[in-house]
Amino acid sequence: EEPLSAIQEEILALKKERNAVILVHNYQVDAIQRVGDYVGDSLGLAYNAAETDADVIVFCGVHFMAETAKIVNPSKTVLLPEMDAGCSLSDSCPAEKLAAYREANPDLYVVAYINCSAAVKALSDVICTSGNAVKIVEQVPADREILFVPDQNLGQWVARQTGRQMRLWPGSCYAHVLFTARALEKVKAQYPGAPVVAHPECVEAVRDMADEVCSTEKMIGFCKTHPSREIIVATETGMLNRLRREIPGKVFIAGPTETCACNDCRYMKMNTVEKLRNCLRDMKPEITMDEAIRQKAYAPIKRMLDWSR
């Protein structure tokens, strides 16, 4: 491994000084992943945020993830290197729209994918991530009709896995829906025998051709144990950083879109090592939240954390 750069060393020194923990999503650039105390998926990051005793949580991911950290651990200072790092899924479900829908359909049980705002979480009955969605939906009382927000692709996949009918909110991840079966067929022809692992935010035609559909954390386990040396990975390209670091003996091929050999999430990639250094130095941008919203948003997250143990 390359030695750390001056700015990475500076980040580690500032981290000590601030008694901070650096939580990093699997989609971040390699330079950020390498200074993380924990690198993982939304579920692992939520547990880590809840359990840390550091004074400061620096969240290298997108806004809803940092918000989740604040919701589960409100006495900590939560920093996000780039406040504009949003998420198209979160944007696809504004809280006012969900509130109106709930009012018109008061009997629905709302399962919200963690990729949503605190205000949407506050309107939900339980939260799930891609890593536990099946497990969570299976525990929803059988006599309740489910509304699944905001990802229709994950929702459709979970409905198939559980056999449970659900109303699906019409949201999607702009990046994952760029993967197509046709583009993946082409890369499969170049690497015959290589299995495809895909994120459940991908469209059905892509999920159907995948050998495994799972969260980013479960991709690590799948890739470690699969006998093939070459594996095609249909998710955001940052994932390949972690796979290549942890499984150096294998070849990971980025899932292509129709127009590009890789697929970066524009929001995830707004964070840079410079912004990470600056936020530890300046102690901003900081996540703040209305306490009433926070408490309402905490209940369905707590339910998720309990149900998915």
Annotated binding site: 25, 42, 87, 113-115, 130, 173, 199-201, 216, 265
Closest CA to 250 of 194, 205, 306: 194
Judged by CB under 6 A, does residue 216 bind ligand 13P? Answer: yes
Residue 8: Cβ within 10 Å count: 18
Q: What is the C-alpha separation between 179 and 205, in angstroms, rounded? A: 9
Q: Which does 42 bind (CB under 5 to 8 A by kind): ligand SF4, ligand 13P, none?
A: ligand 13P
Judged by CB under 6 A, does residue 252 bind ligand SF4? Answer: no
Residue 223 CB contacts under 8 Å (≥ 6 apart), including other chains = 197, 231, 233, 243, 247, 250, 252
Candidates 93-101, 125-133, 172-180, 217-225: pick the segment binding ligand SF4 (CB under 6 A): 172-180
Give phi and psi for 142, each to the nearest 5.
Answer: -65, -25
What's the min distance (Å) between Cβ of 255 and ligand 13P? Answer: 13
Query: How many alpha carbons lie under 13 Å from residue 204 in its C-beta half-sphere?
Result: 8
Q: Across the strands, what pairs with 247?
A: none
Judged by CB under 6 A, does residue 265 bind ligand SF4? Answer: yes
* Helix (H), strand (E) at residue 213: strand 212-213
Q: What is the C-alpha separation between 150 and 206, in angstroms, rounded? A: 19
Candidates 70-78, 186-194, 207-215, 265-273: pick the segment binding ligand SF4 (CB under 6 A): 265-273
What's the min distance (Å) between Cβ of 134 and ligand 13P? Answer: 13
Give phi and psi for 198, each to the nearest 5.
Answer: -130, 150
Judged by CB under 6 A, does residue 87 bind ligand SF4? Answer: yes
What's the min distance (Å) between Cβ of 9 and ligand 13P? Answer: 28
Strands 196-198 and 212-213, sheet pairing: parallel
What's the min distance (Å) between Cβ of 85 and ligand 13P? Answer: 11
Identified binder of ligand 13P from the candidate list 8, 11, 20, 26, rule CB under 6 A: 26
Judged by CB under 6 A, does residue 151 bind ligand 13P? Answer: no
Nearer to ligand SF4, 52 or 130 (CB): 130
Nearer to ligand SF4, 67 or 201 (CB): 201
Whose structure tokens read 């991709």? 219
Query: Interface with ligand SF4 by CB under 6 A: which residues?
Result: 62, 87-89, 115, 173-176, 201, 236, 265, 267-268
